[in-house]
Structure 1
Amino acid sequence: MAKVKTHRNYLASVKDWKVRNMIQGYLQACHAYQEMRQARVRKQRAPSFEVLKEISDTLYRVKEDHHLIFRRPDEANSKNSGHKLVPGYADTAFIDHVGLLFHKIMVARELRYILEHYAHNKENWEAHFQALQTNLQLIDEVFEKGLALVLEFMRSHSDNTLLLAFFIEHDKKIAKCVRLDAKKVLYELITKVDLPQAYFKVAQYYYDSGWPDRALKAVQRCLAEDARHAGARELLQRVRANAPAHNGAGSMSHDSPPVIEATTVAS
């Protein structure tokens, strides 16, 4: 019982980081795939094995982070997974989408490997090239159909301060991947708190983490949305008052918050 409690405490402590990393990883894979697709259409060439491997490896890490935190459907009644969180609908739909993408890209990756190493005659090469093109078209469709699922997963965790910080820092890249207006992306994704409160939560996180420059920018954006936000007004005074004391930490303001890598916990 104590072991289960320890595992639950661990999951509770890393959940917000893992959710942030899942979304970051998915968007990295999405961005890499979009660039690969544009090059494929422009040059009429098969994507490289290395690019497909990079995308599949990224999606694999997303899967592993999800399975570390949430129970799989086949683990519902397993005693060994009692410490894991029960996923909501958005969590399950998201990981089903990621899993489908991962396996289809794995197929594309292996077909590309065959083209490079085993398709030595024209007939064999053309057959595998056509199979690869067909599979890539299916992957295009999976990305397209999964867009709404990814957006819902993001929205369902939009009270996660670490995720809010990621949204604010990378709004333009997110908008490109999920096809939203960059000026409206925060309004579209942040649904569990209002936008001024989102900025405030992020500003407080930056301040507590020793990033005063980032804290100042976030709190100013909060006050631009809601000039009467009492918490933001008080935090702004603290940021300004402590600015000299934070000079050493200020050098950290251009660094990204650390990303916690997947850690295996016995299931």
Structure 2
Amino acid sequence: MLVSVEGLTVAQGERVLVDDVGFTLAPGERVGLIGASGSGKSLTASAIMGLLPEDLTASGSVRFGDQELLGASERTLSGLRGKDLGMVFQEPMTALNPAMRVGRQVAEALTIHGTGRRAANRRARELLDRVGLPERTARAYPHELSGGQRQRVLLAAALANDPALLICDEPTTALDVTVQAQVLELIAEGVRERGTTLLFITHDLAVVASVCDRVLVCRDGRIVEEGPVRDVLSNPEHEYTRQLLEAAL
């Protein structure tokens, strides 16, 4: 397995926010993690990436290949983030540097992991073109772009080093339906071309159905149901999954 999560528990003092979560991700697999706001799905992703807030503690095990990520040093995690582990966040304006041109930000994802500046700049332009952004976009600042364009920039940066795992945390929530469909197709195409494993976090069942092969249903910090997307959506076993389906109709 590429990723193995066992007994993951995230707490804030005595308050348990993620409770004994376990799942695996195989190479090239596309898995949806679905649940309502506050269900613990984003905290699970943050724990995998080593990005939990300082007031939260995590226990259990998160293994990436043979490497244990929980408790790993910041130096180790920094070497993995952006190279082997990519992430696309929900709100690009908080993830992008407002004072840096977006082409440079995509290039920086490469140079920080050893690519030369000239090669990184060339590759950044190629990546922006690959996600459907014109060449002039590289010289734009984030505030000069639309929400959909900013999300494409984040995707280009996240895929720059061909990561083994890409985590997308509600990446299309703030986008209109047409732009959402375009970004989803770019994500699916990007991971398919690279053989990248995808963990897609969302509250939208339709999004999971269009992008993922398997789904994990999260409620109150626990995984209450999992299985192939088609099986879970057509014949849900847990009452909470049925409620999510009814709410989506």
* TM-score, normalised by the number of residues in structure 1: 0.30
- Compare the two structures and name the one with the higher helix fraction: 1
- Compare the two structures and name the one with the higher strand fraction: 2
Q: Greater RCO between the two (CA within 8 Å, min separation 6)?
A: 2
